[in-house]
Amino acid sequence: MALSRFEYVKQFEQEEKLLPNSWIVVRIDGKGFHRFCNVHAFNKPNDLDALQLMNLAGMTVMQEFNEIAIGYGQSDEYSFVFRREASVYQRRRDKLVSYVASLFTSAYMFHWKRIFDQRALAMRYPPSFDARAVLYPTDENLRDYLSWRQADVHVNNLYNTTFWNLVASGLSNADAEKRLQGTLASDKNEILFSQFGINYNNEPVMYRKGTILLPKSVNADGKKQRFIVPLFEDLIGDAFWTKHPEVLDKKAKTDTVYELDEHKTQPVILYQLEVQDRRKAGMSKTEPKAKVLLEPDSS
Amino acid sequence: MALSRFEYVKQFEQEEKLLPNSWIVVRIDGKGFHRFCNVHAFNKPNDLDALQLMNLAGMTVMQEFNEIAIGYGQSDEYSFVFRREASVYQRRRDKLVSYVASLFTSAYMFHWKRIFDQRALAMRYPPSFDARAVLYPTDENLRDYLSWRQADVHVNNLYNTTFWNLVASGLSNADAEKRLQGTLASDKNEILFSQFGINYNNEPVMYRKGTILLPKSVNADGKKQRFIVPLFEDLIGDAFWTKHPEVLDKKAKTDTVYELDEHKTQPVILYQLEVQDRRKAGMSKTEPKAKVLLEPDSS
Amino acid sequence: MALSRFEYVKQFEQEEKLLPNSWIVVRIDGKGFHRFCNVHAFNKPNDLDALQLMNLAGMTVMQEFNEIAIGYGQSDEYSFVFRREASVYQRRRDKLVSYVASLFTSAYMFHWKRIFDQRALAMRYPPSFDARAVLYPTDENLRDYLSWRQADVHVNNLYNTTFWNLVASGLSNADAEKRLQGTLASDKNEILFSQFGINYNNEPVMYRKGTILLPKSVNADGKKQRFIVPLFEDLIGDAFWTKHPEVLDKKAKTDTVYELDEHKTQPVILYQLEVQDRRKAGMSKTEPKAKVLLEPDSS
Amino acid sequence: MALSRFEYVKQFEQEEKLLPNSWIVVRIDGKGFHRFCNVHAFNKPNDLDALQLMNLAGMTVMQEFNEIAIGYGQSDEYSFVFRREASVYQRRRDKLVSYVASLFTSAYMFHWKRIFDQRALAMRYPPSFDARAVLYPTDENLRDYLSWRQADVHVNNLYNTTFWNLVASGLSNADAEKRLQGTLASDKNEILFSQFGINYNNEPVMYRKGTILLPKSVNADGKKQRFIVPLFEDLIGDAFWTKHPEVLDKKAKTDTVYELDEHKTQPVILYQLEVQDRRKAGMSKTEPKAKVLLEPDSS
């Protein structure tokens, strides 16, 4: 039963390595999330908890790979941008794509209880995600990619907000759809304002802009540490890129401490603080540091 | 904020489609499972429950894709063989590799409690898996691939069984390793027999041969249905392939009912029977049939 | 001016290796041959000399690679089938595709004078060819590929033969095209027969079936040697494959001597005989054997 | 004999498209040119005519593709740099690589007589070239690629110049090799100077730096036209890139007329002038303009 007679089959593995010195975007997409949202009765058009769960899963992926420059999530998708010089798994496509998909999935399930226990929402069946890797050779292409995703959430969220308000007001889904056919952004803004008294620009920024995740130095517990920080900003204009130069340029000075301010209450931050507390309390002494972040509550 | 200005970035997606009419093997591999096993105190060299959990996850993948001809699991890996003519996702590599990895991961987590609750073993941190796709152009190449994996489990399990018996008898890990250096299979058999009274061939067949999963027609609950059935057999010789012609030849008659016999108590079978019972009891009337298999216990 | 500072750029070379154990078809296609035929006033619908020149170029490629099982040419294209086990250039795609294209091109130009001097036809500008590599996993797929090309020459040649006879009879190109619109094969056969007294099946078989090139053992000059032999046969039915088992099965007995018979006067054969004569006459003593086949006439 | 039954085989063609917005370098390499040089008794270490023939072939490729920003040749290799935005053949790898190889080969053969007739050097057998395509995502990577090739010619030419002078002075090849083992550039310069009175920096610049080909506006025959112009310059430093900004930036002003000066006598220029003269003389009225450049002498 010698292995050797069969080992030739290894030669059939063809491991594509992604072009060096180009940005690698790995984008995660929920499989059949329309049904998953319905079965779990997520709020429409946005379920804050479900989005925060996505953010916790995105945080987990970014904690695992320190070569991710920026993460961006909206709806049931998340994009992770690996730096040009990233050498993870020697840039092997299969490894990268499958591992990010798997890690995101397991983190999503792992954090479920943390997010949904207060709503007593049990997971009826396990979610899954696919992933793809896309290369961008220039910084401009990368920015345009991220702009594309942020423009997408704007278009969809404006539509969905108007749609579900129309439905809430009594229209059937079909009638609401018909009402919106051919309307421009300005029309939808007008419907929201005149019919429902809603100023779209006052809608929660996370719904309108999606969530940006960046690794930042923060002051936590009296000392400077690396946290994955959520931001809710426009990234299409130049301001974002001027404010966070380290995204495009690894060598940009990033030792300035980032002030968490009002983001301190974001679940992503609360979780990292809690893990730190537990670690300090010596509860996890035996665990390697990096992985401890994922340990379940001791409760 | 028009999408159109940025949409050109979609052109950078390069979707490789796997060569038609060749076997696609997607192999899942545990990431850092050495540590995962230690943290969760899995038995060595084999933890029956942990292997059954792998089998439940493998079953879930095979329920999702009816184009998988055979699944094969051993240790922390699982291979899924998609038929030559499989058209799933138009054979797109990224989609296939990432989705199988994600689905296997979520199923592994989802079934954890079912397997480990009796041992009161909580998941300390979420596991993850990577995946790769490999093409095999001929039936012979495919058989050699599966033989390679089964020969691998034999070699490893014989080694590990001897190693951990030596350790249990008082040797340090280092001394056990030294004792086994350069030994042949016959030497290890001899150590097991003379020193520990163990006839290796009487070790549980699942440990020695791994688990084969096949879709079969079975009699369950008085009617014929398609079940994912676990087998523990040699697949290197011809006998297996003669007995199960439908693996290589989709058109081979498969309407003969497969007798579950002693496999009736396998967790993979028990689970499918239980889901069926629940479905019959009308508990899942509203759920689409295929997905119901993954619903959590009603308890 | 150290190389080392720049050598990292080599890492950007991504050499795809073609899947092992599958048939590799490299197909050559003339670039802009419509114009090339017009400029050189090739006969329509078929120019025997031009086709023989293609055959000489095809022969040259097959002499260079002993891993080609069969060559097939028609119109301005030529297919070369590398055996499943071919290891040429480690099956690197770029190398294989570019080198076959280059070699075919140079052979086409090199043999030009041999073919066209009698017609005093000078090459007005150099021709060029592109190439692609396609993998076929099974023998059946490969046979279907070759059948596809041979069915293609049938369809095109029947059309072209009818078209150019109509034009020769006085119709404009446009009128001939209109006359043939929507006609079936049987209609074209009927036009040829009733209007021009031509029985299509009596047209030269090379025009109707294309040219097959096989490496064969022949008796030349009193001893058995390997020649590239042209055949003009149907390869869609089974007869061809029964008669030439070595095409699909490298191990099939091929030491039977192939009788050239009426093919002795084919330019491809005449050329190989002539090279042999010259070699025997000691004219090429200093040249390596393989390459000598391409030496120009001593005249 | 319907095509349709077999046409499914087209699905097996997998056409890789090269990543958008990245530089494509197609590099041609002579196959077995060591032997080709010997058989044709090319001068060592450099044969000016043979290099000029390479330049004429390079010119032909650049005339065919107006998306080539720069060509660079040395020894038996030539690199063609397609612009980031090049859309030739939709950037299909097989097409691009094979066609450039074929075109370069045919041009090399076509111009042979023009170059070698004065030496009465007949082509003994046809040369061939392979090609590969390599992507470079940034301008810096591209410059480093070209620097790598120019540093290579320097290292090789210094070695070869010293080597062949040693051989000419009476050393055997083996002794010359031994003499140079472990020597630095400065040592070789010293040998050349002290032993042979040669100042390496006075060696012909084409031998030391290779040939750069650029499309330029030149004054020819009283009007401005686009010519492929040979340059012999250092391209490792910044000066070259400042002087020729249009290489990296398509939009850089290039309407300034490039003065041919001493390059007027380069075969590449002489050929283009001659074609123009012939065209003016009406000899090629019926030929499309682009292709006319390759027409043979009227003689």
pLDDT digits 0-9 by tens, A185-214: 999 999 999 999 999 999 999 999 999 999
Task: Kindly state the tokens that stand for B219.
Answer: 């009699």
- The mean pLDDT value of chain B amounts to 91
Sign of the dihedral defined by the CA atoms of residues D225, D228, D232, D236, in that order: positive
pLDDT at A1 (0 to 100)? 52
Tell me if chain D has a CB within 8 Å of the CB of B290. no
pLDDT-based confidence at residue A161 (cuts at 50, 70, 90): very high
The verdict on residue C290 lying in a domain is no
Q: Which residues of A touch D138 (CB under 8 A)?
A: 21, 137-138
Strand boundaries in chain C, DSSP class E: 23-30, 68-74, 77-82, 129-136, 211-220, 223-231
Tell me if chain D has a CB within 8 Å of the CB of B15. no
Whether the Cβ atoms of residue B158 and residue A37 lie closer than 8 Å to each other: no
Strand order in the sheet with B223-231: B129-136, B23-30, B77-82, B68-74, B211-220, B223-231
Nearest-Cα residue of chain C relative to residue D299: C122
The verdict on residue C224 lying in a domain is no
Model confidence pLDDT, tens digit, residues B82-114: 999 999 999 999 999 999 999 999 999 999 999
Q: Of the candidates B266, B251, B296, which has an alpha carbon nearest to the alpha carbon of residue B73?
A: B266
Whether the Cβ atoms of residue C125 and residue D295 lie closer than 8 Å to each other: yes
Tell me if chain A has a CB within 8 Å of the CB of B13. yes
- Of A265-269, C250-254, C293-297, the poorest mean pLDDT is in C293-297
Model confidence pLDDT, tens digit, residues C33-91: 999 999 999 999 999 999 999 999 999 999 999 999 999 999 999 999 999 999 999 99
Residue C298 has pLDDT above 70, yes or no: no
Residue D98 main-chain phi, psi, to 5 deg: -75, -40
Model confidence pLDDT, tens digit, residues D30-45: 999 999 999 999 999 9
The verdict on residue D86 lying in a domain is yes
pTM, to two decimals:
0.93
Model confidence pLDDT, tens digit, residues B155-195: 999 999 999 999 999 999 999 999 999 999 999 999 999 99
The verdict on residue C236 lying in a domain is no
pLDDT-based confidence at residue D285 (cuts at 50, 70, 90): very low
pLDDT at B296 (0 to 100)? 41
Residue A171 has pLDDT above 80, yes or no: yes
The verdict on residue D275 lying in a domain is no
Whether the Cβ atoms of residue B158 and residue A3 lie closer than 8 Å to each other: no
Nearest-Cα residue of chain A relative to residue B22: A12
CA angle D39, D151, D234 (to 5 degrees): 105
The verdict on residue B227 lying in a domain is no
**Chains A & B: contacts with CB separation below 8 Å:** 190
- The mean pLDDT value of chain D amounts to 91
Model confidence pLDDT, tens digit, residues C243-287: 999 999 988 866 688 988 888 899 999 999 999 888 888 754 444
> B165-190: string of b/e by CB count within 10 Å (b at 16+)?
bbbeeeeeeeebeeeeeeeeeeebbe
For B219, the 3-state DSSP assignment is: strand
Q: Of the candidates B5, B11, D20, which has an alpha carbon nearest to the alpha carbon of residue A148?
A: B5
The verdict on residue D100 lying in a domain is yes
For B71, the 3-state DSSP assignment is: strand
Tell me if chain C has a CB within 8 Å of the CB of D105. yes
Averaged pLDDT for residues D209-224: 91
| DSSP 8-state assignment for residue B221 | T
pLDDT at A294 (0 to 100)? 39
pLDDT at A5 (0 to 100)? 92
pLDDT at D252 (0 to 100)? 85
- Burial status of residue A67 (CB atoms within 10 A of its CB: 0-12, 13-18, 19 or more): middle
Residue C297 has pLDDT above 60, yes or no: no
Q: What is the CA radius of gyration of chain C?
A: 21
Nearest-Cα residue of chain C relative to residue A10: C20
pLDDT at C153 (0 to 100)? 95
CA atoms within 13 A on the CB side of D53: 26
pLDDT-based confidence at residue A255 (cuts at 50, 70, 90): low
Tell me if chain C has a CB within 8 Å of the CB of B19. yes
Domain holding D98: CATH number? 3.30.70.3000
Instruction: Indicate the residue of A109, A124, A154 with minimum beta-carbon distance to B109.
Output: A109
- Of A63-67, C119-123, C222-226, C279-283, the poorest mean pLDDT is in C279-283
pLDDT-based confidence at residue C299 (cuts at 50, 70, 90): very low
Residue B1 has pLDDT above 80, yes or no: no
Cβ separation of D97 and C97 shorter than 8 Å? yes
SS3 string of B98-118?
HHHHHHHHHHHHHCHHHHHHH
pLDDT-based confidence at residue A283 (cuts at 50, 70, 90): low
The total number of structural domains that make up chain B? 1
Residues 160-189 of A with CB under 8 A from B: 185
- Of A270-274, B279-283, D292-296, the poorest mean pLDDT is in D292-296
Residues 113-152 of C with CB under 8 A from B: 135, 137-138, 141
Structural domain of B105 = 15-148
Touching subunits for chain D (3+ Cβ pairs under 8 A): A, B, C
Alpha-carbon gap, residue D86 to D81, rounded angstroms: 10
Averaged pLDDT for residues D145-161: 96
Instruction: Indicate the residue of C11, C12, C17 with minimum beta-carbon distance to A14.
Output: C17
Cβ separation of A110 and B109 shorter than 8 Å? yes
pLDDT-based confidence at residue A251 (cuts at 50, 70, 90): confident
For B298, the 3-state DSSP assignment is: coil
pLDDT-based confidence at residue B289 (cuts at 50, 70, 90): very low
- Burial status of residue A278 (CB atoms within 10 A of its CB: 0-12, 13-18, 19 or more): middle
The answer to whether the bond into A204 is cis (omega within 30° of 0) is no
pLDDT at C188 (0 to 100)? 96
* Residue of B14, B29, B61, B94 to mutate for A, most A C-beta atoms under 10 A: B94
* Residue of C98, C100, C116, C189 to mutate for D, most D C-beta atoms under 10 A: C98
What are C216's strand-pairing partners?
C227
For D28, the 3-state DSSP assignment is: strand
pLDDT-based confidence at residue C296 (cuts at 50, 70, 90): very low
The verdict on residue B168 lying in a domain is no
Tell me if chain C has a CB within 8 Å of the CB of A202. no
Residue B297 has pLDDT above 80, yes or no: no
Cβ separation of A19 and C11 shorter than 8 Å? no
Nearest-Cα residue of chain D relative to residue C135: D12
